[in-house]
Structure 1
Amino acid sequence: MTDVLILGGTGWLGARIAERWMDAGAAVTCLARGGRDAPYGARLVVADREDDGAYDAVRDRQWDELVDISSRADHVRAAVAALRPVARHITYVSSVSVYAANDIPDADESAELAAAAEPGDPYDYAREKSAAEAAVRGAFAHRGAIVRPGLIVAPGDPTDRFGYWPSRFALAADGPVLVPDDPDGRVQVIDVDDLAAAVVALGGEWFTGAVNAVGDSLPLAAVLAQARAVAGHTGDVVAAPPEWLEVQGVSYWAGPRSLPLWLPDGLPGFATRSNAAYRLLGGRLRPLRETLQRVLEDERARGLDRPRESGLTREEELALIAALRADGAAGPARR
């Protein structure tokens, strides 16, 4: 039986990876701080990665596969140093944010990485991931996979970014919905269950190297149109110019008072990464509509009007639409 150690394994992505490994017949141990249960069937070892002896309880046996998803380089450095002698292979889940620039469409895994963070540097996600990758390569040369996902989506997403759109179209019903007037915007997502399956497949094959785990690059407008269709929205779609939205304090990408997935100009390489290697390795990409349907079902169960980590409240949105129309800045309403 394959013995798998997942550093984490109780959160959104980590739990999916644990479940997929157990589906494949592996014995799974999750090392985490506690506070959340490990997936049913997995063993939980409670440990704090800030502690010097965090890995003492899992260094007494050989592990066929080690999985880490941390975005703290110091945690990854300590883990690979402690577990290198007892782990045959590692799969590290990094991010496409690790790249130094987003200026070249269809860039592949050979693109330059961000400068690796040094101990004591202010926290920077891209540089932390870069430093973590370097630690993995240094400790597990020729026996380490680095998986670089883009925007991860699906039911349960704690960031609330992707789910905002099917949820909002469903909540609005026959009322108006505000969207960015961004004909050049792109979106590139991967379903969390497709990503988890890829992590398990690459680990099971002891793959060595890096791979972008990203979906196909799609126009933002087309993604929003699919979200609207899945939700059955029949009201107006009100497009706001990016410069007007910025003046109104509407943020890009994520967070409160934002229009999720919308990006500023000048990032032609963002959401356009090559997924050729991922596809060549057999990585699955389910149809976007299937993911949207799954997400909408989850959003309905959790409440379409619940407080969200990302997006506009319905009250904020309606106020913005009224102001946009009063200013005469709205594009033609679409039905």
Structure 2
Amino acid sequence: MRLLVLGGTRFLSHAVATEAVTRGHTVTCAARGESGQVPTGAHLVKVDRDADDGLDALTGDFDAVVDVARISFPWVRRAVDTLAGRVGHWTFVSSISVYAEPDKINDELLPPRETEDDMESYGHIKVASENAVREAFPDAFIARAGLLTGPGDLSDRFGYWPARMSQGGQVVTPDADQLTGYLDVRDAATWLVDAAETQLKGTFDVTGPAVPLSNLLREMAAGFDVELVPVAEDVLVKHGVQAWMGPKSLPLWLPESHRLMASRDAGPALAAGLKPRPLADAVEGALAHERAMGLDRERKAGLTAAEEAAVLAAL
């Protein structure tokens, strides 16, 4: 298979290219080439997706395309316009952020937006991008990614926990039973390459089965010498601890306004071939990545040692 990955140098797109090369496919990665290296065995074509002619360096036909365009509608529109007629199958990686009511479980989508490129418009842009892909490729595979974890993740939303637990002692956790799903990036990549090979079509939420957050954290802690200290949500808020991510936060804990965002139904994706690995394997991969980056680095999410100590002292 001749596979074009629009990206290929970071996280999911790099994992997709790696998986495809491992299977013996001919892999072309289209990227600026500034965020990292493409996998050994893949071919880099340097492109500038901000330019009107930025994809002109891509020549020839491809059996399949995987596009992980993050937040720019023009990138997606330009790609489908440039490559229409030269591609057999199209995969677009969207997001569960397209859903309008993250505190409810339904399929209502946000209104599409095509012009803004800020994070507040992220879900709206993904909706518009999905529409553009379907217009050009009615049999496209739309993969609405949930929380992806593992090697290459720079968000700290999952990796914080095995990193913190590996250091032992008392670990502050949110006393919350909200349903939480996640998926190792390597499993997502495997399924995306499967989909390209089989020309899977349709729209799926790409996540693993959701379990109560407290259960997930207890299972994660099983391999570490730690004492989990569940703290009531109102107490965390009182002490200035934020939900989800950002400074002084506890990752995976969601505010009421987004309480069900991480509990999308994985059933259709599982029935279509998605195979999540055991939690222990996902934790091991995330921890190896965390150690490679440095456990004591400044983080995008989580509590510092001093912040956690202050919460514990106040209980």
* TM-score by shorter chain over 0.5: yes
CA contact 1:167–1:231 (8 Å) conserved in 2: no
1:130 counterpart = 2:127: yes
**Alignment counterpart, residue 171 of structure 2, candidates 173, 177, 194:** 177
In structure 2, relative to structure 1, the CA distance for the partners of 1:118 and 1:302 (3 Å cut) is: closer
Larger Cα Rg: Structure 1 or Structure 2?
1
CA contact 1:230–1:293 (8 Å) conserved in 2: no
Aligned residue for 1:329?
Answer: none
Aligned residue for 1:333?
Answer: none
CA contact 2:178–2:260 (8 Å) conserved in 1: no
TM-score by length of 1: 0.88
Q: Which of structure 1's runs of 4+ aligned residues deviate more than 6 A? A: none
Distance in 1, Cα, partners of 2:32 & 2:282? 31
In structure 2, relative to structure 1, the CA distance for the partners of 1:66 and 1:8 (3 Å cut) is: same
Please provide the CA RMSD for this pair. 1.7
Local SS of the residue matching 1:176: strand
Post-superposition shift, 1:186? 2.0
Number of residues paired by the alignment?
312
Local SS of the residue matching 2:141: strand
How do residues 26-105 of structure 1 correspond to structure 2 at under 5 angstroms? 26-35=25-34, 36-58=36-58, 60-71=59-70, 72-105=72-105
1:7 counterpart = 2:14: no
Distance in 2, Cα, partners of 1:120 & 1:178? 38
Q: Deviations over 1:46-69 (max 9, x none)?
A: 1111111111111x3111111101
CA contact 2:100–2:109 (8 Å) conserved in 1: yes
TM-score by length of 2: 0.94
How do residues 208-287 of structure 1 correspond to structure 2 at under 5 angstroms? 208-233=201-226, 235=227, 237-287=228-278
CA contact 1:186–1:220 (8 Å) conserved in 2: yes
Aligned residue for 1:141?
Answer: 138
CA contact 2:250–2:302 (8 Å) conserved in 1: yes
**Alignment counterpart, residue 150 of structure 1, candidates 129, 146, 152:** 146
Q: Which has the larger displacement, 275-284 or 298-307?
A: 298-307
Q: Deviations over 1:7-30 (max 9, x none)?
A: 111111111100111122211111
1:25 counterpart = 2:18: no
In structure 2, relative to structure 1, the CA distance for the partners of 1:274 and 1:306 (3 Å cut) is: same
Post-superposition shift, 1:268? 5.0
Aligned residue for 2:194?
Answer: 201
Local SS of the residue matching 1:231: coil
In structure 2, relative to structure 1, the CA distance for the partners of 1:121 and 1:255 (3 Å cut) is: closer
Local SS of the residue matching 2:214: helix
Distance in 1, Cα, partners of 2:32 & 2:45? 8
